[in-house]
């Protein structure tokens, strides 16, 4: 009776459930044992057994029958805080699907008592990060028979991979709200290997703690799926993340070799750079777009940066690598590269030189600039908007990294000379 009570704990008090079970046993004239009567009461309350394909995609407790298909030895894992734990796993299936069940801590050793082929009755919750994984709360052997199980290739365990990849970027963890109203955390990034780039989705951000891109990482038990823009790598609490030993290279496509609708990465010099432009999306939200032209030894191509990427501080003449772009035909029929979810822009470093000068800080949508009269620098560090400043810093191409700076008040003659330069006149009204 206690085995099935968690299924209805939010509906009945323990004594109410016990009374209903005893009532069903009396009504059957002794034909029902306690366990069967408890199952009937749970079913009458809408909490009966479900098929694996009908396991809810939420944290709701449910009950199911499953045939043990495979059993994994318990293994130790190290959490982000340095503590150790143990996880044991086994896979069950019925005629509708397969589930990978995880037991944690002291309960992990229970997998050693399981044998492939036996049938279990399991009460538990779906994994919060992966609905095709299950966390048993209680389980027992049963005489129920499951003649057939879902065919190989349809279950959750068959798309697990061990691989090594280059971590290109990693966003900060963010909270999100599940369908049941509870809050969870996830982390996204971009990675790549010899097959190209793919979006990284981690449902257990503590596994990525301490990683600083770019770096090589080794992953075990991750899932590779097809997303709207190519491959996606999904990491959950059953995965293992460590430092890799190799240096996997991410292929780049020459601009002349870019093909329609094939996600690619390119490197080139910015030869044309427009200012960001705001627009209103179809659903009424505000967003940004910025167009630029890249050039490499094979040709040139227009690139459109959308959303927050359009406001990324960039400068004409800089050499960049753009990872995870989608080529599309524009209205003029020409191929154009577009930023998509996961796109990363990396500015190549150049030789720095020490400079000293004076100028006006001009604020901009895509970064502040220092207008020094004959030269204009993209400021890496924000300075007081509109102020006239004297700056000592390191220039790298068109970027300026201020080391020391102070606000100054220019003399009248200096202002007049600058005004002449702006209006192209002689300084007369």
- For residue range 367-391, list pLDDT tens digits in order: 888 888 778 888 888 888 888 889 9
Residue 389: count other Cβ atoms within 10 Å of its Cβ: 19
* 419, pLDDT greater than 80: no
Q: What is the dihedral of CA 312, 316, 318, 322, to 10 degrees?
A: 50
Q: Is 50 exposed, middle or buried (0-12, 13-18, 19+ CB in 10 A)?
A: middle
Residues 119-137 as b or e (16 or more Cβ within 10 Å = b): bbbbbbbbbbbbebbbbbe
End-to-end CA distance of the chain: 96
CATH topology of domain 255-347: OB fold (Dihydrolipoamide Acetyltransferase, E2P) (2.40.50)
What tokens appear for 62 in the block?
């449910």
Instruction: Say whether 115 sits in a helix, a strand or coil.
Output: coil
Domain 352-423 class? mainly beta
Higher pLDDT, residue 56 or 399: 399
Cα 254 to Cα 166, 295, 324, 327, 328: the distances in Å are 20, 10, 14, 13, 16
* 306, pLDDT greater than 90: yes
| Mean pLDDT of the region 151-170 | 68
For the chain, domain boundaries: 5-141, 158-243, 255-347, 352-423
- For residue range 230-259, list pLDDT tens digits in order: 788 888 887 889 888 777 788 999 999 998
Higher pLDDT, residue 338 or 59: 338
- C-alpha angle 131-132-137 in degrees, rounded to nearest 5: 80
* 143, pLDDT greater than 70: yes
The pLDDT score that the predictor gives to residue 427 is: 43
pLDDT band at 421 (very low <50, low <70, confident <90, very high): low
Q: What's the DSSP call for residue 249?
A: P
* Same CATH fold assignment for domains 158-243 and 255-347: yes
| Mean pLDDT of the region 287-292 | 94
Instruction: Give the span between the Cα atoms of 228 and 10, in whole angstroms.
Output: 39
- Rounded to the nearest angstrom, the gap between the alpha carbon of residue 201 and the centroid of all alpha carbons in its chain is 3
- For residue range 175-197, list pLDDT tens digits in order: 876 544 567 788 999 999 888 99
The runs of H, that is alpha helices, within 9-108 are 14-27, 34-44
CATH number belonging to domain 5-141: 2.40.50.140
Superfamily of domain 158-243: Nucleic acid-binding proteins (2.40.50.140)
pLDDT band at 154 (very low <50, low <70, confident <90, very high): very low
Q: What are phi and psi of 327, to 5 degrees?
A: -75, 135
- For residue range 26-78, list pLDDT tens digits in order: 887 777 778 778 888 888 887 778 888 788 766 578 889 999 988 988 888 76
pLDDT band at 156 (very low <50, low <70, confident <90, very high): very low
Q: Per mean pLDDT, which range of 55-64, 136-145, 213-222 is the poorest?
A: 55-64
Sign of CA dihedral 57, 63, 68, 73: positive
Average pLDDT, the chain: 83
* 158, pLDDT greater than 60: no
The pLDDT score that the predictor gives to residue 148 is: 59
């Amino acid at each position: 009776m206690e085995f099935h009570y968690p299924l209805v704990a939010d509906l009945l008090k323990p004594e109410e459930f016990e009374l209903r079970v005893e009532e069903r046993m009396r009504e059957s004239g002794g034909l029902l044992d306690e366990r069967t009567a408890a199952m009937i009461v749970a079913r009458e309350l809408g909490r009966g057994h479900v098929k694996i394909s009908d396991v809810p995609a939420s944290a709701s407790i449910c009950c199911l029958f499953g045939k043990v298909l495979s059993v994994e030895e318990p293994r130790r894992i190290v959490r982000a805080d340095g503590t150790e734990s143990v996880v044991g796993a086994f896979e069950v299936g019925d005629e509708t699907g397969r589930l990978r069940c995880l037991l944690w801590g002291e309960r992990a050793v229970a997998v050693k008592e399981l044998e492939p082929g036996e049938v279990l009755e399991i009460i538990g919750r779906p994994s919060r990060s992966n609905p095709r994984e299950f966390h048993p709360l209680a389980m027992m052997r049963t005489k129920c028979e499951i003649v057939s199980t879902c065919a190989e290739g349809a279950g959750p365990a068959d798309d697990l991979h061990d691989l090594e990849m280059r971590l290109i970027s990693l966003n900060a963890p963010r909270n999100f709200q599940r369908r049941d109203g509870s809050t969870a955390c996830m982390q996204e990034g971009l990675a790549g290997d010899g097959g190209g780039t793919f979006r990284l989705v981690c449902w257990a951000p503590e596994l990525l703690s301490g990683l600083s891109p770019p770096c090589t990482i080794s992953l075990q038990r991750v899932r590779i799926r097809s997303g709207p823009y190519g491959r996606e790598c999904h990491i959950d609490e059953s995965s293992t993340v460590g430092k890799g030993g190799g240096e996997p290279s991410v292929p780049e496509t020459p601009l002349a070799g870019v093909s329609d609708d094939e996600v690619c990465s390119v490197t080139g010099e910015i030869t044309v750079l427009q200012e960001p432009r705001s627009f209103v999306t179809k659903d009424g939200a505000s967003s940004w777009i910025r167009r630029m032209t890249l050039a490499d030894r094979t040709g040139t191509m227009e690139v459109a940066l959308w959303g927050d990427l359009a406001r990324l501080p960039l400068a004409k003449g800089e050499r960049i690598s753009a990872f995870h772009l989608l080529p599309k035909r524009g209205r003029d029929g020409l191929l154009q590269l577009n930023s998509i979810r996961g796109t990363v822009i990396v500015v190549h470093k150049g030789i720095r030189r020490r400079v000293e000068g004076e100028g006006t800080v001009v604020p901009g949508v895509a970064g502040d600039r220092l207008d020094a009269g004959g030269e204009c620098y993209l400021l890496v560090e924000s300075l007081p908007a509109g102020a006239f400043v004297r700056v000592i810093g390191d220039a790298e191409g068109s970027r300026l990294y201020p080391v020391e700076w102070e606000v100054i008040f220019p003399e009248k003659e200096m202002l007049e000379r600058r005004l002449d330069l702006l209006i192209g006149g002689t300084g007369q009204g």
